[in-house]
Structure 1
Amino acid sequence: MNNVKGKLIIIGGAVDKGSFTEVSFDQNVANNLNFFETGIMKRIISESKHGEQSRLEIITTASVIPREVGPEYIKAFAYLNAHNVGVLYIEKREQAHDPEVLERLRNADVVMFTGGDQLRLTSILGGTEFHDILLDKFKNEDFIYAGTSAGAAAASNNMIYQGSSSEALLKGEVKITSGLGLIQDVIIDTHFVQRGRIGRLFQTVVGNPRTIGIGLGEDTGLLITGNGRMEAIGSGLVIIVDGRQIKDTNLTQVELGKPISINNLVVHVMSMYDTYDLHTHQMEIRNSQYSIPLMAEQDSDDADPKVSADDRE
């Protein structure tokens, strides 16, 4: 992401509700808003170019109930005093070339891609004029691409679109295709903790160890800036899978459907405010048990163990 001016905010979805998942959709918007407690939607607004005044466009292409999901996002952002929000209903490829749609994209400070089916998202938008403008804005403007669930999975150059959790470490069980290409050399999986998808990332990374696997837990996201710095946001976990140190595997020796062995795969676990650098591959834990807060050090230096509190007074 060198020389990229835009920011990515990718979100893993939510537990049962939140992000207006189609399985547990609730007509009462307040019941769908797990993100408020974790601050992810608020962070989208605060990171945007004009804050609460920023122009946000909700892209519901991945969803099979776009007309229900879109208005709920408008209500959700309104709870956070962001009212300059619209919904772009792009359900066919020709709509991704519509001049009015393209002009609205050009004027947007933030686009928010909803959950659903990431293959539907990429098959409709991939290679269109809409896609070209999206990539150009992300590279050259103070612009935010935010995506939850399918919208997050589709952000990278390659994306997982199929693969069972229980059989993910059997050769050939994980299916990968091209994503929207906003970020290179990573692959993103969502609903990661609740659905037990770590095996899907393992197989993806062992097939190309240059790729960094990112697993987003529920109610959890990553803020990724143009310098390659990733910050965990939200209440859950982010899993980073680094295959650069892999020593051995049987990937090319076993038949399809057989278990895969991997020696020396590196895994990091991030929680809120932790950071990871995609260039140096270094992780920093915000509340490390091995770092002494500055205030505690000062208090220790100021205190004289030989002098009682009464004497100091």
Structure 2
Amino acid sequence: MNCRGKLIIIGGAVDKGSFTEINFDKDVAKNLNFFEKGILKRIIDESKHKEKSRIEIIPTASSIPKEVGAEYVKALQYLGAENTDVLYIERREQANDDEFLARLNAADVVMFTGGDQLRLTSILGGTKFHDMLMDKYKNEDFVYAGTSAGAAAASNNMIYQGSSSEALLKGEVKITSGLSFIDNVIIDTHFVKRGRIGRLFQAVVSNPKLLGIGLGEDTGLLITNNNDMEAIGSGLVILVDGREVKDTNLTEVALGQPISINHLVTHVMSMHDTFDLSTYKMKIHSSQYV
């Protein structure tokens, strides 16, 4: 799929600090770990009009949308993006409302917050808002940014449930359809902190055509041309390539039993490393062999 737009998917922001803290301005250096590494600034820089871009924060996935939306507005304004607001979509009928569609039409960037990705897809999927999002991503200089749930929902296939500790037991990982901005990948978030490697292994071995993408906290991927991925932020991106799997017991064991996998290929990306989805080739930015 040829796309003019850009995806910026982020693994979560547990280290960003709370913008509702009384001493936010005094302690801003301590509270901006997530942002000073360049992720939010990169979103602004990649947008059509930079600091003047119209940015809509969409906290649909969150159980505390008012608090989350306010934090992101303050963070973006601190970085110079003054044309920022929060679009509260809490019911499906709102996602078909002309007022909400007009705001989306005027946006250069949408930023989907964390929360429950199943809530996000069940509210937006198949609505006029979803259709317009897809059209803007395909045909305009537009940025879809998502953190945590907003990142997990960006792909065609979406993990929505599964414990970390029991993720390599058959049936522990639940997968459904996402918002379908990018195909042939499956995304998991808070990846390193919450030990979700086994969860992604099971998702990939069940369909080895999918490239598993595990995003750590304070870490993301900038995806351009729906193909070229660049690691951004301070942590790690784990890629799981199942195309060369030689053997597994997946179909032979009962539900709840451990899964064996032979020859699952992984890659580890850090800041500025790149990966080509068409060739599956990774380039390490600061390679010791250059």
What letter matches 1:236 in structure 2? G
Aligned to 1:129: 128
What letter matches 2:52 in structure 1? Q
Aligned mates of 2:18, 2:150 — CA distance in 1: 13
Given the alignment of the two structures, is residue 176 of structure 1 paired with residue 175 of structure 2, yes or no? yes
What letter matches 2:85 in structure 1? G
Which has more radius of gyration?
1
Aligned to 1:18: 16
Given the alignment of the two structures, is residue 163 of structure 1 paired with residue 171 of structure 2, yes or no? no
1:228–1:56 Cα change, 3 Å:
same
- For residues 250-294 of structure 1, the C-alpha deviation after alignment (integer angstroms, 9 at most, x for no partner) is 000000000001111000000000000000000000000111xxx
Q: What is the Cα deviation at residue 102 of structure 1?
A: 0.3
Aligned to 1:241: 240
Aligned mates of 2:244, 2:68 — CA distance in 1: 42
Aligned mates of 1:215, 1:27 — CA distance in 2: 34
What letter matches 1:18 in structure 2? K
Aligned mates of 1:91, 1:45 — CA distance in 2: 26
Contact persistence 1:238–1:270 (CA under 8 A): yes
Aligned mates of 1:159, 1:28 — CA distance in 2: 38
Contact persistence 1:19–1:148 (CA under 8 A): no
Given the alignment of the two structures, is residue 277 of structure 1 paired with residue 272 of structure 2, yes or no? no
- For residues 89-138 of structure 1, the C-alpha deviation after alignment (integer angstroms, 9 at most, x for no partner) is 00111111111100000110000000011011111111111000001110
Aligned mates of 1:241, 1:36 — CA distance in 2: 27
Q: What is the Cα deviation at residue 71 of structure 1?
A: 1.5
| Count of matched residue pairs | 286
Aligned to 1:70: 69
Length-normalised TM-score, structure 2: 0.96
Aligned to 2:265: 266
Given the alignment of the two structures, is residue 36 of structure 1 paired with residue 41 of structure 2, yes or no? no
Aligned mates of 2:128, 2:226 — CA distance in 1: 27
Aligned to 1:82: 81
SS at 2:182 equivalent: coil
Q: What is the Cα deviation at residue 73 of structure 1?
A: 1.0
- What is the alpha-carbon root mean square deviation over aligned residues? 1.5
Contact persistence 1:224–1:230 (CA under 8 A): yes
Q: What is the Cα deviation at residue 37 of structure 1?
A: 2.1
1:27–1:174 Cα change, 3 Å:
farther
Q: What is the Cα deviation at residue 34 of structure 1?
A: 2.4
Aligned to 1:106: 105
1:28–1:129 Cα change, 3 Å:
farther
- Residues 153-302 of structure 1 aligned to structure 2 (within 5 Å): 153-291=152-290
Aligned mates of 1:199, 1:96 — CA distance in 2: 35
1:27–1:67 Cα change, 3 Å:
farther
What letter matches 1:247 in structure 2? K
Aligned mates of 1:149, 1:40 — CA distance in 2: 13
Unaligned runs of 5+ in 1: 292-313
- For residues 141-169 of structure 1, the C-alpha deviation after alignment (integer angstroms, 9 at most, x for no partner) is 11000000000000000110100001000
1:20–1:203 Cα change, 3 Å:
farther
> Identity over aligned residues, as a percent?
74
Aligned mates of 2:17, 2:160 — CA distance in 1: 19
Q: What is the Cα deviation at residue 197 of structure 1?
A: 0.1
Aligned mates of 1:19, 1:160 — CA distance in 2: 26
Q: What is the Cα deviation at residue 26 of structure 1?
A: 4.7
What letter matches 1:240 in structure 2? L
